[in-house]
Structure 1
């Protein structure tokens, strides 16, 4: 009777990378789909019904315009997890381990600043001055409502409400805490929180990498060259 050989232990699966949080611009994506629809409709119509050199010019224009529309509307995205920040801009993809991020700035544009001093714009998270003004108006209305509640009856009710809270009894609808922020500013706050929590983690170490989006640049360049040749030939 043979003795069975001992089985080697099964290899342990590697720890999976944390899932990405993905940030995109809904307005940019909606505009991109609209522009692609209009461009495709006009271009295909010119190819099918055009005469002489018109179909070729329309084809060259489509090869040039479609990648550019995709690059500036549908392509931009920001991916964040516990290890790194990945920025997909129109023509480049930048990977920044959190340890290489010095700060995340918000001004007239949102930027990630590397420890080397290089700045990378976050195309997928555009600054909305309109959104900031709207948030400021909401904050002002909240402050005015708070002042109104704390007027003539504020002093008498404050002790009562304090006693109810101390006894664990709810006092109506809770008032949200913290200032009102625009959507993109809240996104930047979330990215800053991840950076502060993970900036010194071992998994967040590494080097900054930048890759050109040849899948966008190549077709657009080919369309531009073809269009230039057709125009030069007259």
Structure 2
């Protein structure tokens, strides 16, 4: 979704910001999260309808504990980037980093961003060593097929993104955007970290309820 920016030639334009967030998420995590939630709903619903004695209460407490965790680690993680800031939505925290505060972005065994002397992981951009190995094999195969690199400039540009693992390419994009936008006046400020109490609170309540049920069984 895009909006029309307000420009000098369009002083009466809308007041929306002249940029849109680019969103990075893990498709595999989203699919697995939906499947696990469907399974939990099936098992929990069956326990609620057919269970006897303490079983329905245990099902409620278990769902209250498990469902937020599944959402936190599968559906919730996302990275939002625009020209002013990087917003990282991890399982239990949301970190907002103005580009001027970002010191670096890298992908080792995990995707990470550094700001204010602190390292923050990008849960929504998982690093896959298998994908890296597959890309390395493809590059080796290309080198074997054409040892002198006799390819056209158009082919090189078109195929450039396929020569990087998805996580590495995403980190490259974020690093390039950080370098490009760090000097913007609207991209200055300090990192802001907010805890996801909407995820944490029901997990704690569910855990306490399960502990009470097991202790009094």
Which interval holds the TM-score relative to the shorter structure? Answer: 0.7 to 0.9
Q: Find out whether 1:195 has 2:173 as its counterpart.
A: no
Aligned CA-pair RMSD: 2.2
For each residue in 1:190-227, what CA deviation from the matched residue of structure 2 results, as whole angstroms up to 9, or x when unmatched? 11110110011111101110000001001111111111
Aligned length: 204
Q: Find out whether 1:175 has 2:155 as its counterpart.
A: yes
Distance of 2:62 and 2:16 partners within structure 1? 47
Distance of 1:100 and 1:53 partners within structure 2? 52
Report the CA distance between 1:175 and its aligned residue: 2.8
1:1-234 pair list within 5 angstroms:
14=15, 16=17, 18-114=19-115, 116-147=116-147, 174-177=154-157, 178=160, 180-234=163-217
Q: Flag the 1:13–1:149 CA change in 2: closer, same or farther, 3 A.
A: closer
Report the CA distance between 1:233 and its aligned residue: 1.3
Gaps of 5+ in 2: 1-10
Q: Flag the 1:208–1:149 CA change in 2: closer, same or farther, 3 A.
A: closer
TM-score by length of 1: 0.82
**2:93–2:196 Cα contact (<8 Å) kept:** yes
Gaps of 5+ in 1: 1-9, 151-160, 162-170
Q: Flag the 1:17–1:65 CA change in 2: closer, same or farther, 3 A.
A: farther
TM-score by length of 2: 0.88
Distance of 1:28 and 1:91 partners within structure 2? 16
Question: Tell me, what secondary structure is at the counterpart of 1:190?
Answer: helix
For each residue in 1:92-137, what CA deviation from the matched residue of structure 2 results, as whole angstroms up to 9, or x when unmatched? 00000000000001100000001x2100000000001011001101
Report the CA distance between 1:26 and its aligned residue: 0.3
Question: Which of 1 and 2 has greater Rg?
Answer: 1
Distance of 2:83 and 2:27 partners within structure 1? 24
**2:107–2:167 Cα contact (<8 Å) kept:** no
- Pick which of 213-222 and 12-21 moved more: 12-21
Report the CA distance between 1:15 and its aligned residue: 5.6
